[in-house]
Amino acid sequence: MATPVHGSTYSRSFIDPDQYQAAIRGGDSLYSILGRGVFGADLRSIEVGQVKLQRGRETLPRLAASGMPANKVGLLTWPSTGCLPVVRGAQIRPGELLCLAPGMQSHHRTSGSNEFWGIVMDASELARAARDFTGREFLVASGKVLRPPEDLVSWLHSTIQLAIRVSKATPQVLSSPQAAKALEEALLRPMIACLQYDDTPQESLSRSRRAALAKKFEETVEANLDGPLYVRELCRMTGLPGRSLHKLCQEQMGVSPVRFLALRRLHLAHQALLKADTRSATVTEIALDVGIWEFGRFAVAYKSLFGESPSETLRRRAGA
């Protein structure tokens, strides 16, 4: 007898970008706001059988990193044709989908508000479903940007929209094994059809290598944020000449190495201020802990990004 399929859903709103990124399946610790404003996001997750669907909405431009688990595969798509992201250095165009392969790591940046839909599942389960539905297997290529026919993309999008509507209007339906099984299959069929569409070139080795180099740069920065760090040292640590490092960061992250370093320190300071023990913590100590020494420039840059001074964030924490 087949194992019964069960479903569940939850939705949550966020005002803290780090909590939001941590809740995204495949997200990691890097999430940097790139534009001033009030951050807001909501995340809806739907699980039916082996399929995990997430819809995320964000209000501000940002740079984020993602990392797929070693045993998971997926597909990322965007319902809007407006403000589409740059992923792994490639501008996503209307109707394009991104393959998420096991262990794949990427940088995603947006220039405004953003909505994404992601479907993730166990790699072996997807292979089994592909054999059952189509009689053949396929390899999910890391970073491949798919351009399926419009009817396939519309089929996928309409099915995702149906799942979201059901989860919002009648979430109790997902507790029915029969309904959950039907929705799981309804999501799998267009997902597999899009992934098996092979009239799209693979991601080039050079672009894949640049994505890996950008991840190495990010990890190098994260490991050395507690003290002074200069571009010359970053070049030595990453093995890249200064010009090449600058070009890589602009392509993959949309900012210079110096700006990326400053953003990470500002965000770490923001996190620390929000979590600080206000009875003993000071802005100066927190700034020093994340390698910030120029306090006047720090206060100006912090307020420009977060809309309030560091001391105001600390006072807000005290009043929480």
Distance CA(54)–CA(23), nearest Å, equals: 10
pLDDT at 147: 92
Domain-wise residue ranges, the chain: 7-200, 206-319
Residue in the block written with tokens 């010359």: 232
Do the beta carbons of residue 233 and residue 223 sit within 8 Å? no
- Among 32, 80, 12, 51, smallest CA distance to 185 is for 51
pLDDT at 67: 87
Give the architecture-level CATH label for domain 7-200. Answer: Sandwich (2.60)
106: Cβ contacts below 8 Å, ≥ 6 apart:
65, 66, 67, 87, 88, 143, 211
- Among 241, 243, 250, smallest CA distance to 214 is for 250
pTM: 0.85
pLDDT mean by block of 10 residues, the chain; 320 residues: 73 88 72 87 95 95 90 93 88 94 92 94 94 85 89 97 95 91 96 83 78 92 85 92 95 94 91 86 90 89 90 76
Reduce the DSSP state of residue 76 to 3 states and report it: strand
pLDDT at 1: 40
Reduce the DSSP state of residue 42 to 3 states and report it: strand
CATH class name, domain 206-319: mainly alpha
